[in-house]
Structure 1
Amino acid sequence: QRVLERVRSGKQDEDEELALLSEQERKILDLIAKGMTNKEIAKEIFLSDKTVKNYVSSILSKLNLRRRSEAAAFISRKRPPA
């Protein structure tokens, strides 16, 4: 039972962390998870490379992550592929 509580608590923590992100940050996080570079993301959503870089930095900071790969893994846990 404690294991289940810990799993549920972890999921809730991730949900709360995801709620910290703006809609645009969540969109960029999804594109990171698809393996897109900042340049590709910028072209996809009509932003400059620098703006995307700033968003990525903000996402990593809010989720307490260091690398894009960690961000991709984070969102993959939240939204497993269909």
Structure 2
Amino acid sequence: MQVLVRDNNVEQALRVLKKKMQREGLFREMRTRSAYEKPSEKRAREKADAIRRSRKLARKKAQREGLLPAPKKKVARTR
């Protein structure tokens, strides 16, 4: 992973790095690997993740078909 530092602005580069790491799921992976996870807990977590993914997919499909209202758009702030 690479982040460019412009005009010696380290704070902005750190923010960009954290955002990239968040998007890649590195923080979540570090948290799960920090301690041992029992096989039964791993199965339960993976099953819950699969259910969450399938519900999200079904919700998106329903939105595309017009059965559910589309999510509200985020308003971009300018500085």
Same fold (TM over 0.5): no
Question: Greater helix percent: which structure?
Answer: 1
Q: Which has the larger radius of gyration?
A: 2
Please report the TM-score for the alignment, with normalisation by the length of structure 2: 0.31
